[in-house]
């Protein structure tokens, strides 16, 4: 009973905001990760090398960073709900468009537009939840939101397992249009946060807003937060975008050689660890603090990633996978709470969009770097680079203070 009291105590608007942001993030994950699930088939059909496939992943991340920056400003100016709806529509429509691609260039254009919507969803959704939930439960609420990414990833793996053998990679992408219908519910049931409505009339101009983020008061902190997130993003995207291809590629290509459905099964099993990591981190960070929780998860993730980099047996990969996902992903839950507690309401979504998505711009090199290293030195070496990125993120927390329990400005 008391375990779920925090949920029952929340007002209806807060719970609906949490549902909206969670489903939006889940569907975002579903659409984006469909590319990773069909990557091996896509490379074969369109004649793409690993470096080219990685470059397409990088382009999507760069576009998502731009989308996060743009939609952060949109959310601060026009509302969290409108920005959330627009981002979902964009990534849904252009995921389906990927199924019509006849060449690499056309696919690249569709992935860029998809990325714009993908980046916008997080900035608007994180602000929406941060502003409707009390400080004592903010980490838990954002943990629920973040955990939905694992559900979307698992759903993408399940759809690929069912659709790919029958209708091919184009059919998988066509399924990605379904999230567009969720915007109808958001429009009808979700309201703007009261705190945003209250400060909207006195909202600073763009110049004043950027002073709040990059001025003398917060510049050093903004840089550390952004760099820390860039390292975690580099590690996450470098590993997760290439994981399905690594598991399904033939041994002579450096992979494990699993059948598509077996590969999907391993990926789905990993998402159980990822989901638990997201949920657990929210409770841990509300109890122990953002800083200690983040650093512990990152250090353990580095160790498990090193173990994974030296493993080739499917059974060992099956066992290690959930642990890599638990520690290598769960910490993302804390980022929305951390940034919400640093920046004021009038520029919160903009600041979250900048710190989260500038990190994405830097991390956009990850799919290309990992693909290139896998081509020349093998996946084992490229995964060791990912472990080093986790370690670097932990070290950067030396420049970030504890923010747990701070009331929103």
Q: What tens digit of pLDDT does each residue of 257-291 get?
A: 777 778 777 877 887 888 888 878 878 888 888 89
Residue 302: which pLDDT band, with cuts at 50, 70 and 90? very high
pLDDT number for residue 395: 95
Q: What's the predicted TM-score (pTM) here?
A: 0.69
Whether 91 and 400 have beta carbons less than 8 Å apart is answered as no
Domain chopping of the chain, boundaries: 14-399
Q: Is the pLDDT of residue 207 over 60?
A: no
- 27-84 pLDDT tens trace: 777 777 777 777 777 787 778 777 777 778 778 878 877 887 788 778 777 777 788 7
Residue 388: which pLDDT band, with cuts at 50, 70 and 90? very high
- What is the CATH architecture assignment of 14-399? Up-down Bundle (1.20)
* Separation of alpha carbons 122 and 51, rounded Å: 28
* Separation of alpha carbons 377 and 399, rounded Å: 34
* Over residues 374-403, mean pLDDT: 87
- Count of CB atoms within 10 A of residue 218's CB? 17
pLDDT number for residue 232: 92
* Separation of alpha carbons 384 and 235, rounded Å: 10
Q: Give the residue from 337, 345, 353 showing the smallest Cα distance to 84.
A: 353
pLDDT number for residue 206: 45
Q: Give the residue from 388, 361, 358, 362 showing the smallest Cα distance to 373.
A: 388
* Separation of alpha carbons 393 and 396, rounded Å: 5
Q: Is the pLDDT of residue 355 over 50?
A: yes
Q: What angle do CA 239, 244, 249 make, to 5 degrees?
A: 115
* Over residues 361-384, mean pLDDT: 80
pLDDT number for residue 203: 57
């Amino acid at each position: 009973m008391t375990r779920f009291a925090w949920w029952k105590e929340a007002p209806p608007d807060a719970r609906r905001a949490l549902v909206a942001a969670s489903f939006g993030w889940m569907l975002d994950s579903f659409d984006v990760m469909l590319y990773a699930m069909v990557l091996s088939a896509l490379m074969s059909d369109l004649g793409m090398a690993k470096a080219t496939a990685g470059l397409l992943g990088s382009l999507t991340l760069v576009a998502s960073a731009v989308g996060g920056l743009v939609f952060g400003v949109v959310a601060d100016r026009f509302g969290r709900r409108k920005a959330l709806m627009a981002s979902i529509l964009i990534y849904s429509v252009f995921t389906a468009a990927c199924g019509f691609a006849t060449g690499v260039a056309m696919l690249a254009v569709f992935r860029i537009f998809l990325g714009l919507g993908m980046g916008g969803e997080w900035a608007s959704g994180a602000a929406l939840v941060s502003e409707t939930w009390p400080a004592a439960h903010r980490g838990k609420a954002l943990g629920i939101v973040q955990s939905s990414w694992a559900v979307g990833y698992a759903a993408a793996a399940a759809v690929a397992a069912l659709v790919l053998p029958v209708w091919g990679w184009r059919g998988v992408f066509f399924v990605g249009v379904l999230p567009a219908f969720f915007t109808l519910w958001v429009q009808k049931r979700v309201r703007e946060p009261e705190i945003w409505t209250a400060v909207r009339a006195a909202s600073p101009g763009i110049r004043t807003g950027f002073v709040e983020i990059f001025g003398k008061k917060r510049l050093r902190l903004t840089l550390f937060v952004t760099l820390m997130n860039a390292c975690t993003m580099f590690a996450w995207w470098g590993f997760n975008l290439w994981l399905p291809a690594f598991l399904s590629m033939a041994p002579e290509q450096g992979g494990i050689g699993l059948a598509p459905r077996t590969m999907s099964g391993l990926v789905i099993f990993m998402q159980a660890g990822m989901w638990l990591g997201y949920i657990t981190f929210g409770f841990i960070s509300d109890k122990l603090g953002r800083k200690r929780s983040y650093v512990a998860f990152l250090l353990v993730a580095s160790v498990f990633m090193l173990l994974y980099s030296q493993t080739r047996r499917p059974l060992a990969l099956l066992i290690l996978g959930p642990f890599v996902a638990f520690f290598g992903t769960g910490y993302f839950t804390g980022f929305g709470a951390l940034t919400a507690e640093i920046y004021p309401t009038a520029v919160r979504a903009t600041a979250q969009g900048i710190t989260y998505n500038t990190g994405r711009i830097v991390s956009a090199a990850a799919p290309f770097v990992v693909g290139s290293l896998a081509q020349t030195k093998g996946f084992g070496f490229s995964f060791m680079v990912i472990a080093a990125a986790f370690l670097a993120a932990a070290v950067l927390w030396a420049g970030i203070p504890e923010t747990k329990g701070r009331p929103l400005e």
